[in-house]
């Protein structure tokens, strides 16, 4: 049987994030494990393992809540293949960068 797993690029970005914010280390390493051990073809499949996954409105990025909503991990996913770690932000940094000034919140499409 052939197994295919997601390739996460790169662990060094996650390490830099948890060295700066040690409280997030365990959650980031668990997130990395979930990504490496699975192949996600759809958002619905991803949310079964990582329920906080949300598209970032107006971009091709996905956002994951880390440690509740203290931090946000922003990635780009090539479904079924690769996860590219873009950035790790505090909630405030995420709001400034990705929440539209018109009062529209980036996140889950209803």
| Alpha-carbon gap, residue 47 to 93, rounded angstroms | 24
Per domain, the residue ranges of the chain are: 7-98
Q: What's this model's pTM, rounded to 2 decimal places?
A: 0.85
Domain 7-98 fold: YaeB-like fold (3.30.2310)
pLDDT digits (tens, 9 = 90+) for 34-65: 999 999 999 999 999 999 999 998 899 999 99
């Amino acid at each position: 049987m052939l197994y295919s797993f997601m390739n996460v690029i790169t662990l060094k970005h996650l390490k830099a994030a948890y060295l700066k914010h040690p409280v997030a280390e365990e959650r980031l390493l668990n997130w990395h494990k979930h990504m490496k051990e699975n192949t996600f073809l759809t958002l619905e499949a991803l949310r079964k393992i990582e329920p906080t996954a949300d598209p970032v409105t107006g971009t091709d990025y996905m956002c994951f809540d880390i440690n509740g909503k203290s931090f946000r991990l922003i990635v780009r996913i090539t479904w079924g293949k690769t996860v590219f770690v873009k950035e790790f932000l505090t909630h405030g940094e995420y709001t400034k960068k990705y929440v539209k000034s018109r009062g529209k919140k980036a996140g889950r499409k209803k």
